[in-house]
Amino acid sequence: MISVFCLTFITYSCDKTDHLSTSTQVQEGQLKARTVDACEDCPNVTDCCCSVELSDPSTGSASLRFCGTTDGVGSCTGSTTGCPSFSGGGQSISLSPGIGNYRKLFCMAPGSALWVQNIGSATSVKISCQHGMTNPQIITLNLNPTDLVNFALTSCILTACP
């Protein structure tokens, strides 16, 4: 009797397998990279995705102040001969060795300008406004304490201001 029941149960269970289905609906934007800082987080669709990173990601550190970014919220101003004047977009960025710490992203509007100031000890960093692109323009900055450098941005290409 028990074997007849088991045989009937197995037959019934197998017979119903073609009626089972699985449905998964994914809404647009639901599957995103789960990074803290991502290019798609830039406030404007036309922004250039920029990065600053330690020249040697295994050693050193950097404490930098930026002005002119579109994702910064601090108050600051900049004006240099040969570059557009700007205000706002101030932020501090700290870099240190290790995964997730040696590179940070920031956003810039094409046609704008920014300054970068070293607010820590002497450091070497790489900066680019073509993050994620093949063969990006990368500028190496060797900065002493309090050094300040100015850049103009045209089509996501950084140009040092005179």
Q: What is the DSSP string of the chain?
A: -HHHHHHHHHHHHHHTGGG--------TTSS----SS-GGGSSSTTPEEEEEEESSTTS--EEEEEES-SS--B--EE--TTS--EE--BEEEEE-SSTTTSEEEEEE-TT-EEEEEE-SSSEEEEEES-TTSSS---EEEEE-TT-EEEEEEETTEEEE--
Would you say residue 11 lies in a domain?
no
Which residue range(s) make up the domain with 145? Answer: 47-160
Would you say residue 3 lies in a domain?
no
Would you say residue 85 lies in a domain?
yes
pLDDT above 60: residue 11: no
pTM: 0.74
Would you say residue 154 lies in a domain?
yes
pLDDT band at 158 (very low <50, low <70, confident <90, very high): very high
| Count: domains in the chain | 1
